[in-house]
Amino acid sequence: DAKKPVVLVAGKVNPRIIERLGDRFELVHAEKHARLSLGANVATEVRGAVVSGDFPTDWMAELPKLEIIGSFGVGYDGVDVREAAARGITVTNTPDVLNDEVADTAIGLLINTVRQLPRAEDWLRGGNWVPGSNFPLSPLSLKGRKVGIFGLGRIGLEIARRLEGFKVAIGYHTRSRRDDVPYTYYPGLLSMAEAVDTLICIVPKTPETHKAINAEVLSALGPRGVLINVGRGWSVDETALIGALEKGIIAAAGLDVFYDEPHVPAALMEFSNVCLLPHVASASVDTRNAMADLVADNLHAWFAEGRALTPVPETPIPPRRN
Ligand code: NDP
């Protein structure tokens, strides 16, 4: 059907996106190499694209009729939104539908890190639980902790709400203070790190958040300090973190995200006081389906009604004209 808008599927995406788009769009697929491998006659017809992670920026110039890029995930640092905005391309992300899942994972990772529960399970499965043997007591506990959340947006707020049930002190650092929350505001990341012993990172990847959690911040957390990162690996100086763990400058870390995924520094794997997850904070079938639906719904809304449901703030492009 020549009338169906052509949508480019960039690399591998959640299969539900493809299912949800198949009826109304003509789908074309391309591997995510820097050069777009589509026939020129196809490339000039592409009006929409869907992607998970990085969208090759050079493709934008090769897709003259591209109107919208639906990006899977709430963080859209893999799409050059300035270039898209300059070309009049709307970019959409998948906010809110993953807040609960990511916040739940953050809490799970925090408890696993302070109580070493994954290690205890490994110990059991390893056949070590025999009469007279006990897994060593965890040196750390969640009880009485002071938690500082770096980023109190959609997900950070859900993490804070969950933490209320754990009777810990809750503070946060963002650039603008929120007047709708009861938590302690810290105008600086360092001043927060000095005041708390547990730091949870859930800020986006931006030039300002690059290696924001550095040696100084880790040292301010102190010897009982725990770092939890469910935001982006980009925000942590991994070399400084490895040094801080080696020297006992902080006590433990729980990481879902890494600087250069899927590469995890070998040194991090060596520490018994570190919990490592392969970027799974939103990775349940239900939540990934909800994210896939929102990607598809954005494209449907754009081509049926001329407006995107969840455009990113950098591409506030006027509604499409039919
Ligand atoms: P929001 O945009 O709702 O919140 C971002 C928060 O970060 C805001 O409170 C913002 O406050 C703060 N922030 C941004 N820049 C800075 C800065 N330079 N200094 C201090 N605070 C800053 O985003 P979400 O909560 O929806 O998502 C946050 C990020 O989490 C995503 O961008 C993504 O990278 C990551 N993520 C990771 C997942 C995983 O699988 N591990 C899953 C989902 C999300 P203010 O603007 O006032 O500074």
- 50-98 pLDDT, tens digit each: 999 999 999 999 999 999 999 999 999 999 999 999 999 999 999 999 9
Q: Is the pLDDT of residue 321 over 70?
A: no
Instruction: For residues 38-57, give the mean pLDDT.
Output: 95
CB neighbours (10 Å) of residue 223? 12
Considering the entire predicted model, what is its pTM? 0.97
- 40 vs 37: CA distance, rounded Å: 9
- 138 vs 140: CA distance, rounded Å: 5
* Kind of pairing between the strands at 226-229 and 198-201: parallel
- List, edge to edge, every strand of the sheet that includes 198-201: 184-185, 169-173, 146-150, 198-201, 226-229, 252-255, 274-276
Ligand 1 center–CA 9 separation, angstroms: 26
Question: Which of these, 287, 255, 291, lies nearest to 271 by C-alpha position?
Answer: 255
For a ligand 1 pocket test, name from 177, 202, 208, 230 the mutation site with the most ligand atoms within 8 angstroms of its C-beta.
202
**Kindly report the CA angle at 148 between 143 and 150, in degrees rounded to 5?**
145
Q: Is the pLDDT of residue 160 over 70?
A: yes
pLDDT at 322: 53
pLDDT tens, residue by residue, 172-191 = 999 999 999 999 999 999 99
Residue 246 among the catalytic residues: no
Ligand 1 center–CA 311 separation, angstroms: 16
Beta bridge partners of 70: 50, 92
For a ligand 1 pocket test, name from 52, 74, 181, 275 the mutation site with the most ligand atoms within 8 angstroms of its C-beta.
74
Those residues with Cβ within 8 angstroms of residue 110's Cβ, 6 or more apart along the chain or in another chain: 142, 198, 200, 226, 228, 254
Tokens of 46: 């592409």
Q: Angle between the 285-305 and 99-115 helix axes, to the nearest 10 degrees? A: 150
Question: What DSSP designation does 65 have?
Answer: T
Helices of type H across 142-223? 154-164, 189-195, 215-221
Is the Cβ–Cβ distance between 76 and 93 less than 8 Å? Answer: yes
- 267 vs 261: CA distance, rounded Å: 15
pLDDT tens, residue by residue, 238-296 = 999 999 999 999 999 999 999 999 999 999 999 999 999 999 999 999 999 999 999 99
Q: Is residue 319 very low, low, confident or very high in pLDDT (cuts 50, 70, 90)?
A: low
Question: What DSSP designation does 213 have?
Answer: B
Going by alpha carbons, the residue nearest to atom 40 of ligand 1 is: 281
Residue 208 among the catalytic residues: no
Residue 261 among the catalytic residues: yes
Ligand 1 center–CA 118 separation, angstroms: 27
- 149 vs 192: CA distance, rounded Å: 9
Tokens of 308: 């995107």
Taking 3-state DSSP, the helix, strand and coil percentages for the chain, each rounded to the nearest 5, stand at: 35, 20, 45
Ligand 1 center–CA 186 separation, angstroms: 16
- The overall longest dimension of the chain from CA atoms, in Å, is 75
